[in-house]
């Protein structure tokens, strides 16, 4: 899908959206349905899809059931599996984005955005733009993290992150070191283990793993979902309420004991070696870190060519990795399954508000926003999947839709008030964040005995919503005008002033 941008196109739009993944596509579709036609969507890639475009590693799939991991207003009765794979989700997003093609600005990496003289001045890799409103929808899983290991630059072989998979590299017969045992690694390790010569899996903390129980939908089921839409809606509702019931364990940690018994039984039946089983047994409450779904991860670790390494990595040499116990683990390939910059998003470092400070400077290590969407001091800025909107139990697409409902209500309020620049009041934002932190205190993410990527560098859980998704829906559907304040308007500069 190519960009339709031309040098002669208008450089100003009422609304600019950053990111053409789930959030950006959903924003475009909902804006159009509400009658907002003057918008553009920037994305650094050459196609839409975001996370599902970029993550093409073997075995990449969603861990939320298919009928819930989709837009409620763009149903897909043709999902082939209960848990969709990357290619199928990506194709779904490409279909959703077809009508947005004229508004897509692909190959446009946003390098900076500053609130100046009453509008957003946006610098991209393809030139300068302006907009009255800025919607940041780059997503929490868009910036891969590669640890700064001593000696990494000396490694003689290929090294890459799972989100930047090197498909030109034939792994057959290679000695591979995989760093990390998170959600990506549990999917690609079983796929590459049978073909590599050896695989050393470096684990810092044992994850909780439960059976995935994935299956293909039968031809009869697919016909029913297509011909009887109410059945598809019932399937989605069943998944939704089942996941909301599961949320009780995250919100009330003692209730996790039942799920932990299931996970331990899964480990015991999959791993016969007591030493390996001991190394794979988590020492924290289930849910404190992301719970992983897999039927084949544990069996892959029992293969004779696979070794689990639990000693910390001390350094990297040209021919392998050295752990703190002094052992060298030879490897000719390194694959990082080390996650993403979630609580310190790169986009926050290039968005500047009314006082000239960036979001990153304003947050100072802990993301904070009213409803996870608006930030005081940043007029006409709206974040999708911003602070405290991630989930540990169900689909973030639901949260995106809740936020978009709120955005549309905010736009209607602004239009009715005669336009201008609007932002949350400091009081409303502080009160909301305090309420989130109070609710977070008793959850497994704060009290489960682990450190996870849900927590920021200040120890605050700023990535997740501390409740059921229906409670967030209730908060976002009640629009409170008093929570926002109007900022004065100013003369507007020309687009060239963005990079002046």
Q: Model confidence over 61-90: pLDDT tens digits?
A: 999 999 999 999 999 999 999 999 999 999
Band of pLDDT at residue 491, cut at 50, 70 and 90: very low
Q: Decide if pLDDT at 492 tops 50.
A: no
Q: Decide if pLDDT at 60 tops 90.
A: yes
Q: Model confidence over 423-470: pLDDT tens digits?
A: 999 999 999 999 999 999 999 999 999 999 999 999 999 999 999 999
Q: Model confidence over 177-207: pLDDT tens digits?
A: 999 999 999 999 999 999 999 999 999 999 9
Q: The domain containing residue 260 runs over which residues?
A: 152-213+237-336
Q: Which long-range contacts (CB under 8 A, 24 or more apart) does 271-275 make?
A: 271/298, 271/301, 271/302, 272/302, 273/302
Q: Are residues 205 and 288 in the same domain?
A: yes
Q: Decide if pLDDT at 9 tops 60.
A: no
Calpha distance 455→444 (Å, rounded): 12
Residue 394: inside a domain:
yes
Residue 220: inside a domain:
no
How many CB atoms lie under 10 A from the CB of residue 119? 25
Q: Are residues 396 and 411 in the same domain?
A: yes
Half-sphere exposure of 386 (CA within 13 A, CB side): 26
DSSP per residue, 95-113: HHTGGGGGGEEET--EEEE
Q: Decide if pLDDT at 7 tops 50.
A: no
Task: Please state the rounded mean pLDDT for residues 95-114.
Answer: 97
CA nearest to 374, candidates 403, 343, 400: 403
CA nearest to 433, candidates 366, 341, 481: 366
% pLDDT > 90, the chain: 95
CA nearest to 66, candidates 47, 50, 52, 53: 52
Q: Are residues 116 and 203 in the same domain?
A: no
Q: Decide if pLDDT at 295 tops 60.
A: yes
Strands 484-487 and 421-424: antiparallel
35, two tokens:
């009658």
% pLDDT > 70, the chain: 95
DSSP per residue, 194-213: TTSSEEEEE-SSPPPEE---
Contact predicate 143/340, CB 8 Å = yes
Band of pLDDT at residue 490, cut at 50, 70 and 90: very low
Furthest-apart CA pair in the chain: how many Å?
Answer: 71
Contacts for 6 with CB less than 8 Å, ≥ 6 apart:
none
Task: Please state the rounded mean pLDDT for residues 99-127.
Answer: 96
pLDDT value of position 487: 82
Q: Decide if pLDDT at 3 tops 90.
A: no
* Helix (H) and strand (E) counts in the chain: 14, 20
Residue 80: inside a domain:
no
Task: Please state the rounded mean pLDDT for residues 7-27.
Answer: 87
Q: Are residues 170 and 293 in the same domain?
A: yes
Q: Decide if pLDDT at 488 tops 90.
A: no
For the chain, the domain total comes to 2
Q: Are residues 389 and 468 in the same domain?
A: yes
Task: Please state the rounded mean pLDDT for residues 398-404.
Answer: 98
Average pLDDT, the chain: 94
pLDDT value of position 223: 96
Q: Are residues 202 and 307 in the same domain?
A: yes
């Amino acid at each position: 899908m190519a960009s339709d941008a031309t040098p002669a196109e208008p450089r100003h739009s009422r609304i600019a959206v950053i990111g053409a993944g789930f959030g950006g596509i959903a924003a475009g579709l909902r804006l159009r349905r509400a009658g907002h036609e003057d918008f553009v969507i920037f994305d650094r890639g050459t196609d839409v899809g975001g996370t599902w475009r970029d993550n093409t590693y073997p075995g990449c799939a969603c861990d939320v059931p298919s009928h819930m991991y989709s837009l409620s207003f763009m149903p897909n009765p043709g999902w082939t599996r209960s848990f969709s794979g990357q290619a199928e989700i990506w194709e779904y997003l490409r279909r959703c984005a077809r009508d947005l093609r004229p508004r897509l600005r692909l190959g446009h990496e946003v390098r900076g955005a500053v609130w100046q003289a009453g509008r957003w001045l946006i610098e991209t890799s393809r030139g300068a733009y302006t907009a009255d409103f800025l919607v940041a929808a780059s997503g929490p899983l868009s910036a891969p993290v590669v640890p700064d290991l001593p000696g990494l630059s000396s490694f003689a072989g290929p090294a890459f992150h799972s989100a930047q998979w090197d498909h030109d590299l034939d792994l057959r017969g290679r000695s591979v070191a995989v760093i990390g045992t998170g959600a990506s690694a549990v999917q690609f390790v079983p796929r590459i283990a049978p073909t590599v010569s050896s695989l050393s899996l470096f684990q810092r903390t044992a994850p909780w793993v439960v059976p995935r129980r994935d299956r293909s939908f039968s031809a009869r089921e697919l016909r029913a979902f297509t011909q009887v839409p109410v059945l598809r809606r019932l399937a989605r509702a069943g998944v939704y309420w089942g996941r909301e019931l599961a949320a009780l364990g995250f919100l009330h940690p003692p209730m996790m004991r039942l799920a932990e018994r299931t996970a331990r039984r899964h480990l015991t039946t999959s791993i016969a070696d007591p030493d390996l089983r001991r190394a794979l047994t988590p020492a924290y409450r289930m849910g404190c870190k992301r719970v992983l779904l897999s039927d084949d991860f544990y069996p892959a670790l029992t293969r004779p060519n696979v070794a689990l390494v639990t000693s910390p990595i001390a350094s990297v040499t040209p021919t392998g990795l050295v752990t703190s116990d002094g052992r060298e683990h030879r490897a000719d390939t390194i694959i990082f399954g080390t996650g993403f910059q979630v609580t310190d998003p790169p986009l926050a470092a290039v968005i500047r508000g009314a006082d000239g400070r960036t979001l990153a400077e304003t947050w100072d290590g802990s993301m904070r926003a009213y409803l996870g969407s608006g930030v005081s001091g940043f007029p006409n800025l709206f974040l999708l999947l911003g602070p405290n909107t991630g989930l540990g139990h169900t689909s973030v697409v639901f949260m995106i839709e809740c936020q978009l409902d709120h955005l549309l209500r905010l736009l209607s309020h602004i239009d009715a008030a005669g336009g201008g620049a609007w932002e949350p009041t400091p009081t409303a934002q502080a009160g909301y964040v305090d309420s989130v932190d109070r609710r977070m205190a008793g959850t497994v993410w704060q009290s489960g005995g682990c450190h996870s990527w849900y927590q920021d560098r200040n120890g605050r859980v700023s990535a997740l919503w501390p409740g059921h998704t229906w409670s967030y829906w209730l908060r976002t559907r009640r629009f409170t005008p008093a929570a926002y304040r109007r900022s004065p308007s100013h003369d507007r500069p020309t687009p060239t002033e963005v990079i002046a």
